[in-house]
Amino acid sequence: MSENPNDSQPREDSEYAVVMRNVHKWFGPFHVLKNLNLNVTRGEKIVICGPSGSGKSTLIRCINRLEEHQEGDIIVDGTELTNDLKHIDKVRSEVGMVFQHFNLFPHLTVLENCTLAPIWVKKMPKAEAEEIAMKYLERVKIPEQAHKYPGQLSGGQQQRVAIARSLCKRPRIMLFDEPTSALDPEMIKEVLDVMVELAGEGITMLCVTHEMGFAKTVADRVIFMDGGEIIEQNSPQEFFDNPQHDRTKLFLSQILDHT
């Protein structure tokens, strides 16, 4: 950490949950994130939307280093993401993530899915880990499924297990990558309900989703991305009622026509 460009203003960065400054990322020759700047305050709920390929998933995947950015700074809860594995571990211990396709471990039971990280990463005794896991499984309303395998549950139940799994390490920031896009329509609500409840608890949330109803109820800020850039960001009310940019208007007209 010899060349930390933030030394002049460390306090400011660590006051935010996430700071992204002039972030660029390429997949091979493809420029996916272009000069992104984003400050997320603690406890803020942010919904990110945009057409597919706009870089919204890549953006949140950079926050827990599932993707590496090539230029710019990303500072998560005061820790700058560099190649230093200790920093990555620290960030990952504070950031939970929920995936579009759940990514539960199919060879482990629901309970084992939830206790894996606490037992092996946090070295917690098994009994304590199970107690915490059951607490979160109750929060997502499926304690009775604890001893089943993920393959025996419905999509909505699996996604709720995935939420419980990431909550088990008590993250301060939660990332959701299109958590309801792979679900059958009748299961979307049960997952969104859990997310709304979670939002009420002061956790910082960044959520890539096209559920505009969710955005309206929960979000403090809605961000619209296209072509690797943040085109527009605003409070949900302003964003939906009074979009500024033409591309935002086009996008909103396309997704809201059907809902």
Partner 1 sequence: MKPISYKIGEHPDLPPPASVTGPLAWVRNNLFSSPTNVVMTLVSVWLLFELIPPMLNWMLFDAAFSGENRDACRAQAGGACWAFIAERFRLFTYGFYPAEERWRVNLAFVLLLLALVPVLYDRLPLRKYGLYYSMVFPLIAGWLLLGGWGLAPVDTDQFGGFMLTLVIGVTGIAFSLPIGILLAMGRQSSLPVIRLVCVGFIEFIRGVPLITLLFVASTMLNYFLPKGTVFDLLLRVLIMVTLFASAYMAEVIRGGLQAIPKGQVEAAEAIGMKYWQSMRLVVLPQALKISIPGIVNTFIGLYKDTTLVIIIGLLDPLGIGRSSLADTKWTGLHNEVYLFVAIFFFISCFSMSRYSLYLEKKLQTEHDH
Residues forming the site for partner 1 (CB under 8 A): 64-66, 89, 92-93, 95-97, 99, 101, 103-107, 116-117, 120-121, 149-152, 165-166, 169
**Alpha-helix residue ranges (DSSP H) falling in 10-80:** 10-14, 56-63
Output 11 or 86, the one with its CB closest to partner 1: 86
CB of 137 to partner 1, least distance (A): 16
Q: Nearest approach, Cβ of 106 to partner 1 (angstroms)? A: 6
Task: Name the residue nearer to partner 1 (CB basis): 64 or 79.
Answer: 64
What number of other Cβ atoms are within 10 A of residue 53's Cβ? 14
Q: Please state, in angstroms and rounded to a whole number, the distance separating the CA atoms of residues 86 and 101.
A: 28
Q: How far is the CB of 203 from partner 1 (least distance, A)?
A: 16
Between 96 and 236, CB nearer to partner 1: 96
Residue 165 has phi, psi (to 5 degrees) of: -60, -45
Alpha-carbon distances of 94 from 106, 166, 169, rounded to whole Å: 24, 10, 8
Which residue, 95 or 212, is less far from partner 1 as judged by CB?
95
CA angle 191, 134, 101 (to 5 degrees): 35
252: three-class secondary structure by DSSP:
helix
CB 62 within 8 A of CB 75: no
Would you say 62 or 231 has its CB closer to partner 1?
Answer: 62
Minimal distance in Å, beta carbon 228 to partner 1? 21
CB of 231 to partner 1, least distance (A): 27
